[in-house]
Amino acid sequence: MAPKIWKLALAVTTAFASLVSPAQAAPAHEVANVLVFSKTAAYRHDSIPAGIKAIKELGAQYHFGVEATEDAGAFTDANLKRFNAVVWLSTTGDVLNAAQQAAFERYVKAGGGYVGVHAASDTEYDWPWYGNLVGAYFAAHPQIQQADVRVEDHAHPSTVDLPSTWKRTDEWYNFRQNPRGKVHVLASLDEKSYEPGNGAMGDHPTAWCHTNAGGRSWYTGGGHTQESYTDPAFRSHLAGGIRYAAKMVDADCGTSVAAPVDTDFDQITLAKGEEKTGEPIALAVLPNRDVLHTSRDGRVWYTSSAATTKLAGQLPVYSHDEDGLQGVAIDAGFTSNRWVYLYYAPKLSTPDGDAPETGTVADFAPFKGYNQLSRFKLGTDGVLNLGSEQKILQIPAERGICCHAGGEIDFDAQGNLYLSTGDDSNPFASDGFTPIDERANRNPVFDAQRSAGNTNDLRGKVLRIKVNANGGYSVPSGNLFKPGTAKTRPEIYAMGFRNPFRFAVDRKTGWLHLGDYGPDAGAANPARGPGGTVEFNLIKQPGNYGWPYCIGDNQPFVDYDFATGTSGAAFDCAAPKNTSPRNTGLTNLPPVQRAWIPYDGGSVPEFGNGSESPMGGPVYRYDAASASKTKFPAYFDGKTFAYEWERGWIKEIGVGPNGERGEIKPFFDSMTLTRPMNLEFGPDGALYVLDYGSGYFGGSAESAVYRIDYTQGSRTPVAKIAADRTSGPAPLTVRFDPAGTHDPDGQPLTYAWDFDGNGTTDSTSAGPVSFVYNSAGQYTAKLSVTDSTGLTGAASVVVTAGNTAPTVTLRTPLNGSVFTFGDTVAFKVDVTDDKPVDCSKVIVEYILGHEGHGHPLSRATGCEGTIATPADGGHGADANVFGVINATYTDGGGTGAPPLTGSAESVLQPSLKQAEFYTEANGIQVVAQADASGGKRVGYIEPGDWIKFDPVNLAGLRGIGYRVSSAGAGGTIEVHSGSVTGPLVHRVTVSNTGGWDTYVDIPATSITDPGGTGALYFVFQGTGSGGLFDVDAIRFER
């Protein structure tokens, strides 16, 4: 659409009005009559005559009479009564006076139909009633171009004949507001398929209908071009809209149920803190609303709906890197059979330490193991019977080198078990692209073709089996490969996954919603392949999802020879071939299926930006017969709850009848949530959430199990409990403080303390209270608070009498100290315990930090020694990577008291730090520029702006240098410790470099080390304006 030129438009309107005259009245035998109104008071579309001609032809075809006019005088009560619907064909500007507007309002309120075509949304901006009728006002548009139209409703007569993805060329409108939620969306635009220009909407409806104004309303954003009106698909679309609005055919255009708001939900804490969750991995909700949840070290926890937690059992597991206890699920017949399914890495005879990266088959053989899918009986006392184990399925695993175990378990409505498995491949030696290293002397873990791309291997897959009564399994029909097919495994339902860590089965449709993590390349490389795309997949049937050959929207990687460092051809996603010498399956693989929602960085606006960690979540199914008072409403029926571990959100996503992606909306954004690790709807229709918390490969104070109830405003009291000590010799006196306990609704509370976990109330005090634990053991002290409506909130703390938790201190390396990837780092660990310390039980791990998560890459034992820090794992300068050293010690327990663990952690800053990976900033902006180190730099710097890095320790450093550019006045960089006005560490001058994209390295300048670990503020000063200089990278030099 062109800019509005009002005076010219009035003249044009007058001219065209004389050329277009009303048609003859429709013959009496026609089913309906429509009026085509095409008056313009602004831009005039040259496609209007073609549109009128097409509508007349459609009228003859579908038996509705057509009259066309540009005379606003036709809008009278008497004249409008002759028509079943009025088509506003690319009208623009103010086209009706007040009396005519009133007549049209009465017409629609009485049941008359409205059809809006293209610029009908660029009409009557000062008439709010019309804005509601059309659904949304025009805002802007890019150039005419081809785009993918996603059909969301395949039943409506205007979209019933259209393909799911309708490729067409038109002028695509951006609207001032998203109409979804007020209208019934029929089709939307895929903004990734074209350039949406200014005003891109993300979720972008382009055709819709509703009955909000009384009569039927239908709108399409298409129809700018003359060619539209000779296009059979668009003509069918238009005819269906007219027939619907004229009541010739019926359709469901009811708007969605009003979306609940955050205050409709109540977040109940069932368990919180590392002592009640360990390192949170997975959860399963029991029929009685209690929860089983796992931690990687083999512990299975039982948390009741009354917010008490105990250890249900502990499996001995191999826990190097990401291995250990993974998924948990309960049998469909759990109420009668009590079976609990667990997926874990048994200890076996695997050597300690890291597997060799290069060597011979004999060198790698000791690290070959497997992961085990088994089931166990859970007693009615909440204790897991480890002796009842029935082993079901084993998945091969190369141990001693990271990564990708998968491990989600779920069931469909027929009782088939689904298990996701990771590619068991190392991603850190392939520059962030696909790991397909075929060199004979390399550990097989560097070649994902042997696993995810192998039709004869169970890794990198979703498996589908039927568990037998004796614990074995059979293979149901309908998997990807028929039983007996050479070089295939019949258990495979879907293949080609990297790390499908979370998925959920919609038991109504049988579809799987699965999140698959992607590689870490920060940008595409023509010689290697696409950047670090991740995927939300909708698996409706067996198929190949591409890894390690293709990713996302079928973007191929490039074949790469790791021996010579040369690139070959891009892989063929339509007919991929696995030619790896380690492949034991078919060479010719099934064609690759496109991801449902691929994303990278901010490519999907509704997902925000940052590190990518997709988690496939459950679909909610509303049960009207359920008596639960806290079940989610019908509004959520059929929506999937996708979640993002690193970004810390949960989103509701609509799913069309054929799997079309619907609107993406935030869910309960105000809830307390750090990193959602697992979601599951319980039998009560409430949502249960396992929160990983903060930290790296260990639980934290934020680790939690929550239940989200739908209460429509009534909120549960919030209980808080703090203890002055949680372990020590018996008798042990503990002081408990309920400070922070409150009722969100302001109601009075009654208090009930159960100090020893025996179910009886020991105190009703509202203030701090003490209790003496005379006997050794581990106890759960619980505070319950109840409001006047009967809602009860609870909090608890675990107390161990008879054993004191060890205190672990990392003397070296210092937290925030600087290192270079590949360094061998010396460590020294101090452990204080009430019993002799066994240094052989001190475990030290090096973790590669990436954004807010990490990958454990090497391990050592002892109170003192060195640990390798492998190279940055294929991450380029565009990745925010750093090091983490973690030390843990578990003591031997005491008489009657269990072992306890202490830990400590130090973050290591890389010696080359990209400026854009600051912890916090003020005033600046991040600028994308190809020649910048990592592709970005800190720019738009004005006097007083700053960036902060935390933690940093300057011990052992001789100076700090920079990579900068400037076409401005230049200035100075001042580094301050602790705050923007804290002690000065150093100052350096930055001069004009000759251009914003002309980079200069400033040599390291000496520093004054204030000592200790804390925040460093890089404060920018100068006297110029319009930008002083840009900072690309910071070098800490030793």
pLDDT digits (tens, 9 = 90+) for 140-178: 999 999 999 999 888 899 999 998 889 999 999 999 999
pLDDT confidence bin for 875, thresholds 50/70/90 = low
pLDDT at position 866 is 95
| Closest alpha carbon to 88 in 38, 50, 28, 142 | 38
Average pLDDT for 821-846: 94
Co-location of 463 and 573 in the same domain:
yes
Task: Tell whether 215 and 280 lie within a shared domain.
Answer: no
Residue 874: pLDDT band with limits 50, 70, 90: low
If asked whether residues 524 and 647 sit together in one domain, one would say yes
- Which band of pLDDT confidence, cut at 50, 70 and 90, is reported for residue 30? confident
| Overall domain count for the chain | 5
- What pLDDT, on a 0 to 100 scale, did the predictor assign at position 712? 86
User: Beta partners for 692?
Assistant: none
| Lowest-confidence region among 106-115, 250-259, 576-585 | 250-259
Identify the band that residue 657 occupies on the pLDDT scale cut at 50, 70 and 90. Answer: confident
Query: For 254-283, what is the mean pLDDT?
Result: 87
How confident is the model at residue 847, as a pLDDT? 86
- Alpha-carbon span 39 to 43, nearest angstrom: 10
Here the CATH number for the domain that contains residue 773 is 2.60.40.10
Asked if the structure places residue 612 within a domain, the reply is: yes
Is 499 within the bounds of a domain? yes
Nearest Cα to 88, choosing from 230, 242, 283?
242
Q: For the segment 977-1001, what is each residue's pLDDT rounded down to a tens digit?
A: 999 999 999 999 999 999 999 999 9
581 shares its domain with 625:
yes
Say whether pLDDT at 32 is over 90. Answer: yes
In percent, how much of the chain has pLDDT > 70?
A: 96
Q: What is the mean pLDDT of residues 60-88?
A: 97
In this structure, the answer to whether residues 659 and 728 fall within a common structural domain is: no
Q: Are residues 356 and 501 in the same domain?
A: yes
CATH number at residue 860: 2.60.40
Helix (H) or strand (E) holding 129: helix 128-134
Question: Is 653 within a domain?
Answer: yes
- The pLDDT value recorded for residue 257 is 55
The average pLDDT across 124-134 equals 96
Residue 715 lies in a domain: no
Q: How far is Cα 275 from Cα 263, in angstroms, rounded to an integer?
A: 30
Last residue within a domain, chosen from 196, 211, 245: 245
Nearby residues of 991 by Cβ (< 8 Å), 6 or more positions away: 966, 970
Instruction: Write the CB contacts of 280 (distance below 8 Å, at least 6 apart in sequence).
Output: 293, 294, 295, 677, 678, 690, 691, 692, 693, 699, 703, 704, 705
**Of 752, 771, 801, at which residue does a domain stop?**
801
CA-atom Rg of the chain in angstroms? 32
- pLDDT for 212: 85
Q: DSSP E strands: which ranges in 622-731?
A: 640-644, 649-655, 661-666, 676-681, 687-691, 704-710, 722-723, 727-728
Question: Does residue 947 or residue 23 have the better pLDDT?
Answer: 947
Whether residue 35 is predicted with pLDDT greater than 80 in this model: the reply is yes
Query: Is residue 604 scored above 80 in pLDDT?
Result: yes
- In this structure, are strands 113-117 and 217-220 parallel, antiparallel, or unpaired? parallel
Closest Cα to residue 167, out of 193, 200, 129? 193
Please give the structure tokens belonging to residue 129: 């009633």
Q: Which residues pair with 590 in a beta bridge?
A: none
Q: Which H helix or E strand runs over 238?
A: helix 232-245
Is the model more confident about 613 or about 880? 613
CA 682, chain centre distance (Å): 21
Q: What's the pLDDT band for 876 if we cut at 50, 70, 90?
A: low
CA 813 to chain centre: 34
394 close to 418: Cβ distance less than 8 angstroms: no
Is 207 part of a structural domain of the chain? yes
> What pLDDT score was predicted for residue 893?
93
β-strand 824-832 against 461-467: which pairing, if any? unpaired
Look at residue 656 in the predicted model and tell me its pLDDT: 84
- Asked if the structure places residue 737 within a domain, the reply is yes
Q: What is the pLDDT of residues 528-573, one digit of tens each?
A: 999 889 999 999 999 999 999 999 999 999 999 999 999 999 999 9
| CATH code, domain carrying 556 | 2.120.10.30
| Distance, CA of 27 to CA of 22 (rounded, Å) | 14
Domain assignment present for residue 465? The answer is: yes
CATH of the domain at 1016: 2.60.120.260
The pLDDT, as a whole number, for residue 405 is: 93
Domain endpoint, select from 857, 875, 910: 910
Q: Are 964 and 999 in contact (CB under 8 A)?
A: yes
CB 587 within 8 A of CB 579: yes
Give CA–CA dist 623/683, Å, rounded.
Answer: 10
Closest C-alpha among 886, 884, 858, 879 to residue 870:
858
Domain limits for position 828: 807-910
The verdict on 236 and 351 lying in the same domain is no
Residues 661-681: pLDDT tens digits? 888 889 999 999 999 999 999
Q: Does 18 score more than 70 pLDDT?
A: no
C-alpha dihedral (176, 178, 181, 186), degrees to nearest 10: 120
Task: Give the pLDDT of residue 102.
Answer: 97
Q: What is the pTM of this model?
A: 0.73
| Cα angle, residue 801 at apex, residues 800 and 807 outer, rounded to 5° | 60
Whether residue 444 is found in the same domain as residue 386: yes
Report pLDDT for 134.
Answer: 97
pLDDT value for 10: 29
Q: Is residue 904 located within the same domain as residue 916? A: no
Share the mean pLDDT of the chain.
92
Distance CA 229, CA 619 (A): 40
Domain match, 22 and 115 both: yes
* Residues 853 and 925 grouped into a single domain: no
Domain shared by 693 and 826, yes or no: no
pLDDT, tens digit (0-9, with 9 covering 90-100), for 278-330: 999 999 999 999 999 999 999 999 999 999 999 999 999 998 888 999 999 99
What pLDDT is recorded for position 646? 92
* 251 in any annotated domain: no
